[in-house]
Structure 1
Amino acid sequence: MGKISMAASILWLALVALAVVGEAAIVEHTFVVHEMNMTHLCNSTKVYVVNGQLPGPQLDVVDGDTVVVHLVNELPHGVTIHWHGVRQLRSCWADGAGYVTECPVAPGGNRTYRFDVSGQVGTLWWHAHVTCLRASVHGAIVVRPKDGRYPFPTPARDVPIVIGEWWTLDLVELDRRNLDGNFEDDPLSATLNGKLGDLSNCSGVPEESFVLDVEPGKTYLLRFINTALFSEYFFKVAGHTFTVVGADANYLTPFRTDMVTISPGETMDVLMVADAPPGLYHMTAVANQPPPPDLQIRALTSRGLVRYAGVRADNGGAPVPAPLMPGQHDTMPSYYFRGNFTGLAFPSRHRVPAHVDERLFVTLGLGSICRGGKKDCKLRRSNETITVATMNNVSFHHQTAASLLERHYDGTGEGLYTEDFPDRPPRPYNYTNMDLIPVGPLEEVLEPTTKAIRVRRFKYNSSVEIVFQSTALLQSDPNPMHLHGHDFFVLAQGLGNFDPKKDVKKFNYHNPQIRNTVHVPRVGWTAIRFIADNPGMWYLHCHFEFHIVMGMATAFIVEDGPTPETSLPPPPADFKRCGTNGFSKP
């Protein structure tokens, strides 16, 4: 063997060895955010996209890899990108939450995000985190195991199923209306991987459908992501069942089901075996919502196809089966579906902390503030008030003057925020009394709200327990709650008002699911627990966009630990501080 051939062989063997031991890699991308026109439903609509794609580019990484994304902003306003569900251990500066961890990248500006993806396997996602741009500026993050092995049968292929919505209203204008307490605007359709499906049509011509091509007998890993602004979705495929195996990049104890239910912000990993007679089968996604007297949005449905190899486009003349879906107002299937979730054999470092240092009881609902800064005004959704969303009767003020993380790091937060987010609501009441939904004397007493930036500080490595309580105050929506920078244990869920004497007995300390986004059921509660072990400023918010814009949010400060390795590092050398990059309001 010649010297060159021998050298090539040695190099090849070295590369194989690196692959076998799972050597970490650097995954690098450039994201150009820009406007373009797309035509759906006979109309050309301006949309905001990354690299001309909807959904945007998929990030494929292996557990332990480093991600480097160069963001180029060609929009006429500021933008950030949040890496939803990535732990961001000691990399809070890269979290991408607008005005929380950074000021938006200005028009014509750029920035580079660098972070590690470690200790997570499954599906995450990225999205814009200013205004309502995440409706179209989003994409999947697929994290594969180092050794290539899953705790379930290896699939023939994995397929992202991105559930979204098609908006014709400009997303920046939608944000402005939500800030003014107007949440009566609707998308025109649900979408599957950016396609509206054949139930929508333009002058009688059906819209294009997403098609999943399968081969008989093979197993497919469906990676669900709900990017929608407003709705939880039911998803089914006619003639097929699923095995749910993961959520939010954490493994679950597998369970069988014929339907997946997924809220905005959540991801879910699901196996589907192509074991039906070869043919065409409809897949359907349907948005659910509470019944009246809650404010109603249009019924949102999208439909795609599962197509077996070799089957004719007309299905051999046979009708294409469609799944039987729950009613639009039937939210109970969601509750029962989520009752199946338990965690799968997580490492000892993920054991539920036995002690609790900080306990919070957080009510989630609506309220009102007086227009123009007045102290007194006519309530009951009058023209003198702005409807806001609240946590413990505090509506988060989304300021556009500074980054909370920068002020925290510099020790200059005084005057911008206060560290007094309350442990519980200011007054107890029957949180799930349905008579609170219509305007009237019952809700009028409870709706006056504080608008402020009130955050909460936790000592490093403290154990925090939160019970989220959905309420019926002016509406009875569920609430998908997302915590940046941390995973948490979901201990239990329930309907009605949380009873600390009885419901604590339901807590699962043995094998709870580990999540970053949890669906708090309609007029029900969910209990979580986590370790505050990631120093920085971390956003907590509902992932319904109108709720977050209207103030259902806060931020958690996690203090530094005792060593440099347990402390928030300085901002990266190329990090552009607020005011240094000409940042602008979105």
Structure 2
Amino acid sequence: MEKLSMATAIFCAVAVAVLAAAVGGEAAVVEHTFVVHEMNQTHLCNTTKIYVVNGQLPGPTIDVTDGDTVVVHVKNHLPHGLTIHWHGVRQIMSCWSDGAGFVTECPIPPGGEHTYRFNVTGQVGTLWWHAHVTCLRATVAGALVIRPKGNKYPFPTPAKDVPIIIGEWWELDLVELDRRMHDGNFDDNPLSATINGKLGDLSNCSGVPEESFVLDVARGETYLLRIINTALFSEYYFKVAGHTLTVVGADGNYLTPYKTDMVTVAPGEAIDVLMVADAKPAHYHMVALANQPPEPDPQIPGFVSRGLVRYAGVPNNNNGMPVPTPLMPNQHNTMPSFYFHNNLTGLAHPDRHRVPMHVDERLFVTLGLGSICRNGSKTSCKRRRSNETIVVATMNNVSFHHPTKASLLESYYDGKPNKTLYTEDFPDNPPHPYNYTDRALIPPGPLEEALEPTFKSTKLRRFKYNASIEIVFQSTALLQSDSNPMHLHGYDFFVLAQGIGNFNPRTDPKKFNYHNPQLRNTVQVPRTGWAAVRFIADNPGVWYLHCHFEFHIIMGMATAFIVENGPTPETSLPPPPPEFKRCGANGLTRP
């Protein structure tokens, strides 16, 4: 983690974690103060304004133990609002602290403060936190590590664990990036990938290489790499030259150990791997490479960052030998991602790893793009990426209209549903079946023209408490053929199966894994493929479901699930905590 400037030392000084033993001396209260502020940083010969927590990029790691309570005091020193989302924390009976802007709360106003308080009982592994208003999560993000009680892992205890946070370096101001995306402009791109905030020596300015992230290791020791993808735009391939990686966890849940030379991590995912330093003592490169769909999808520059694994005792010149670099897949080959995700299985958890065998509610959700008329008063306009339309993202041909002045959770909890704010009619199926993965739907057309018209609306879906929900996500080729990392707040779900092509409801359920499926909070729905998930709706509240590509969120690939209260006080959402500030108190709209 990089200290960025002496000028921010005063902010770093307030980032204090206090451990106070709870009753019985087992659980603890872990307390942090996050000061969110602007600062300048120079990369690639340009100085850019960025947004950070306590002067750090990535932000501070929250390190806790299963059963602890986390308290984070957020002080917003930005000129616009933000929230902090605790990505993957189940927030059992604490939906008020989920931190989804305009879903569970209105943003913390400029100069304002807010305290988040939640418990992490029953979760272990790597999660993360990030800003959840505008594109600020590109720099306002950090790891959230939950350790097992007594440090008892289902694998050999590592000598050290290290967050490996993959991100992007944007020269464009992130608030301006958000504004452009809302206006339908998707031509902006980052300049580089990053590993733990560093661009790596493949990027240079006037012949001066950028600094690389360096992992110092001792031969024979085992290291737990907590790989997190915080990027706005891309899924990444990750390799370390000369080393095998053993995948042991994902999204705060254990996996059956799986050996591989490459990890694939989509935006929103966190993958835990063991790396044994068993190579000849030397220097070795680690590489993070963004994958992208091939043409005719819109093409963007390739993003790559390179770090260094450095064995103890080896001189800085690597004994005069070249540093090995791993052989990476072609950036346009997305099949390694499909095979990687399909090879993962869950390690049974005695309390949570029971797949519901009955299904109360089934949803088939298509994920794609569409268009709306730029002039909102028009019902028809010229399509095929013309100047008369704005491209939007959709789920079942509905592009989510994000509230900007009120919180969905507040409206629902107060028992005064405002139909001008939302309705509860998110469709269970797309309005018209078609060949969802036909590559001819990718422009320049003309097949997509008849399918792309859509509309903006805030449509939610309501579920009874304890209902068993099955969702089949279907990626489409409509206007582009990208993958879709779908993230559900407040829940883990079982990933029963994934496939390429159109989901077949007669034959594909025969492939479902009911024995040891992955338990995840983010599922990578493959490019022109599908993924089936199942979960029990046992956590009351309003929970955001969205693609974790930032441009897809802004374009509208989202909805929210209302989960009703159970029959007892213990199964019902409690009132908002004393520190919760209602939207009227904030008086805030989107920046």
Distance, in Å, in 1 between the alignment partners of 2:543 and 2:129 is 16
Match of 1:13 in 2: none
Match of 2:396 among 389, 392, 395: 392
Distance, in Å, in 2 between the alignment partners of 1:367 and 1:39 is 38
Match of 1:61 in 2: 64
Distance, in Å, in 2 between the alignment partners of 1:568 and 1:363 is 31
**1:522 is the counterpart of 2:542:** no
Cα shift readout 1:363-400 (whole Å, capped 9, x = no counterpart) = 00000011131211111111111100000000000120
Distance, in Å, in 2 between the alignment partners of 1:494 and 1:440 is 26
Cα shift readout 1:411-433 (whole Å, capped 9, x = no counterpart) = 22232100000001000000000
| Equivalent residues of 1:48, 1:133 under 8 A apart | yes
Residues 94-103 or 21-30, more deviating: 21-30
**1:91 is the counterpart of 2:83:** no
* Aligned-residue offset at 1:441: 2.8
* Aligned-residue offset at 1:487: 0.4
| Equivalent residues of 2:244, 2:275 under 8 A apart | yes
CA RMSD of aligned residues (A): 1.1
Match of 1:8 in 2: none
* Aligned-residue offset at 1:21: 7.8
Distance, in Å, in 1 between the alignment partners of 2:131 and 2:229 is 14
Q: Which runs of 5+ in 1 are unaligned?
A: 1-17
Residues 450-459 or 170-179, more deviating: 170-179
Cα shift readout 1:96-129 (whole Å, capped 9, x = no counterpart) = 0000000000000001000001111000000000
Q: Identity over the aligned pairs, expressed in percent?
A: 78
Cα shift readout 1:61-88 (whole Å, capped 9, x = no counterpart) = 0000000000000000001000000000
Q: Which runs of 5+ in 2 are unaligned?
A: 1-20
Q: Which amino acid aligns with 1:556?
A: F
SS of the counterpart of 1:86? coil
Match of 1:466 among 452, 471, 475: 471
**1:383 is the counterpart of 2:391:** no
Match of 2:285 among 282, 290, 296: 282
Cα shift readout 1:159-218 (whole Å, capped 9, x = no counterpart) = 000000000111111111111222111100000000000000111010000000000000
Distance, in Å, in 1 between the alignment partners of 2:182 and 2:132 is 15
Change (3 A) 1:186 1:81: same
Match of 2:550 in 1: 545
* Aligned-residue offset at 1:585: 2.2
| Equivalent residues of 1:22, 1:147 under 8 A apart | no
Distance, in Å, in 2 between the alignment partners of 1:174 and 1:124 is 26
**1:570 is the counterpart of 2:575:** yes
SS of the counterpart of 2:584? coil
Distance, in Å, in 2 between the alignment partners of 1:318 and 1:497 is 50
Q: Which amino acid aligns with 1:550?
A: M
Change (3 A) 1:41 1:513: same
* Aligned-residue offset at 1:349: 3.9
Q: Which amino acid aligns with 1:542?
A: C
SS of the counterpart of 1:372? coil
Distance, in Å, in 1 between the alignment partners of 2:218 and 2:44 is 32
Cα shift readout 1:526-583 (whole Å, capped 9, x = no counterpart) = 0000000000000000000000000000000000000111001110112110021333
SS of the counterpart of 2:189? coil
Match of 1:4 in 2: none
Distance, in Å, in 1 between the alignment partners of 2:416 and 2:315 is 66
Match of 1:102 in 2: 105
Cα shift readout 1:452-485 (whole Å, capped 9, x = no counterpart) = 0000000000000000000000000000000000
Match of 2:198 among 195, 200, 214: 195
Q: Which amino acid aligns with 1:398?
A: H
**1:454 is the counterpart of 2:488:** no
Distance, in Å, in 2 between the alignment partners of 1:289 and 1:556 is 30
Distance, in Å, in 2 between the alignment partners of 1:381 and 1:413 is 36
Structure 1 segments, 4+ long, off by >6 Å, are 18-22
SS of the counterpart of 1:46? strand
Paired positions, count? 569
SS of the counterpart of 1:546? helix
Correspondence list, 1:299-310, <5 A: 299-310=302-313
**1:47 is the counterpart of 2:50:** yes
* Aligned-residue offset at 1:20: 13
Residues 367-376 or 508-517, more deviating: 367-376
| Equivalent residues of 1:68, 1:112 under 8 A apart | yes
Cα shift readout 1:281-310 (whole Å, capped 9, x = no counterpart) = 000010000001101111000000000001
Q: Which amino acid aligns with 2:417?
A: G
Distance, in Å, in 2 between the alignment partners of 1:161 and 1:287 is 15
* Aligned-residue offset at 1:346: 1.5
Structure 1 length-normalised TM: 0.96
| Equivalent residues of 1:21, 1:147 under 8 A apart | no
Structure 2 length-normalised TM: 0.95
